[in-house]
Chains A and B, each alone.
Chain A
Amino acid sequence: MTEGKVSMIEAMVDVFGSAITGSEIQCGDQQVVHVEPSNNLEILTWLKNTEGHDYDLLLDVTAVDYGSVPGVEVVYQLWSITNKKLLRIKCPLPEDSLKIRSVADLWGSANWLEREVFDLFGVQFEGHPDLRRILMPKNYSEGHPLRKDFPLRGRFSREKQTELALKQDYEDYYSPEQLEGFGQRADD
């Protein structure tokens, strides 16, 4: 089994060279690969489409804010149904440039998962079809909650939070014009 894993890393380094910044095995059997964030789309496309790797199921896209290290690390969990292999890809993003390309075109599951990372961490996903807040209210102005410098109880006082909450007019969130394709009838 180690043979197969070593050769996968070797194959990746062959194709992508210095974009692969490191790899390790966590907890005995979990393969982790660190990559340069600017190459994430190419590497993930290669992992999905190459024979022998076939990581067809994107399990999770998440991010970690370590606190001790500035910036945020975006983590992808991949599973190959045909080859039964699990893989973790980590892309560290610097604090001043929390941007990475979206993989929503490769896997449909990335759509909402990346929206959540944007909502809670503030990471901009370039090329995402619909990047907006998903869990927090539309008018949420306190910031991005899961960052380490965001206090547990929020930045505003409870009085202000209650006042802002009841000011959301959830009726004018989406006018029909804002929804794409409005006006086209089903049989057009």
Chain B
Amino acid sequence: MGIKDRQNEQLPVAGNSELTFLTTKVDFVVNWARRNSLWPMPFGTACCAIEMMASAASNFDLARFGMERMSFSPRQADVLICAGRVPYKLAPVLRRTWDQMMQPKWCISMGACASSGGVFDTYSMVQGIDTIVPVDVYVPGCPPRPEGLIYGLMMIQEKIKSESMADHERLRREDPEGAGKPVADSSEVKALTGVFGNSTQQDKFSSLAQTARPGRFKDVLK
């Protein structure tokens, strides 16, 4: 399911006939249990991983939220925290780790590099992991403070609070055919990873360097 599908999703509306007293109470208990015992899967790559470690350590303490058990096996994890920059070489690893996680699962993109490529608008960097895995919460920052990561985790908890068993089919739907493939299709990748802002000005060499002689390389291959 691509990003466009997710944008058109309808949120549960109160007054829906499926939401009875019993189902809301069951929802309450299930969501309470889920959000207070999230096991994060730390997919830490770079500097953000150090801030993630710092939030798990004593000063900021993720254990207060029930998240001290960092699960390094995706099979046992609930939240994938992608902390740090993801180059194209690492992209299939990220996708595979996400595929191996079992529903219910959520994803946090921690840091500017995971959310949009950050400082690295270069040949080797994925310009935002939302082209590869479906992201629920983006935590901006370079790196975000541990408080920022905790805020992002609390947003996931809020998101879980608003879920409902009545929506189970829609929320937990995952297409087995999509395993190993990026979540965004070609046009979405183009839209998400286009050059913008300062990036458009910052690909010139030193003013004294002579750039490549024309014709030295062929056209940009599509």
Q: In the complex, are there CB atoms of A and B closer than 8 Å?
A: yes
* Residues of A bordering B, CB below 8 Å: 66-68, 136-137, 142-143, 145, 148-166, 168-170
A162 touches B220 (CB 8 A): no
A152 touches B122 (CB 8 A): yes
Interface members, chain B 13-28 (any A CB < 8 Å):
none
A137 touches B88 (CB 8 A): yes
B203 at the interface (CB under 8 A from A): yes
What are the residues of chain A within 8 A of B95 when measuring CB–CB?
166
A67-B211, A151-B203, A166-B181 given; A157·B220 CB < 8 A:
yes
A165 touches B123 (CB 8 A): no
**Complexed CA–CA distance, A145 and B124 (Å):** 9
Main secondary structure of the interface of B (DSSP, over half): loop
A153 touches B121 (CB 8 A): yes
A149 touches B216 (CB 8 A): yes
* Residues of B bordering A, CB below 8 Å: 88-89, 91-93, 95, 121-124, 126-127, 131-132, 180-182, 184, 186, 189-190, 193-195, 203, 205, 209-212, 216-217, 220-222
What are the residues of chain B within 8 A of A142 when measuring CB–CB?
123, 221
A156 touches B190 (CB 8 A): no
B131 touches A149 (CB 8 A): no
**Complexed CA–CA distance, A151 and B220 (Å):** 9
B131 touches A67 (CB 8 A): no
Instruction: For B209, give its contact among A68, A143, A145, A168 (CB under 8 Å).
Output: A68
A137-B88, A159-B190 given; A153·B93 CB < 8 A:
no
**Complexed CA–CA distance, A160 and B121 (Å):** 16
A165 touches B91 (CB 8 A): yes
Instruction: For B195, give its contact among A153, A163, A164 (CB under 8 Å).
Output: A153
B91 touches A153 (CB 8 A): no
What are the residues of chain B within 8 A of A169 when measuring CB–CB?
92
A68-B209, A68-B210 given; A152·B203 CB < 8 A:
yes
> What's the minimum C-beta distance from A164 to chain B, rounded to whole angstroms?
8
A153 touches B89 (CB 8 A): no
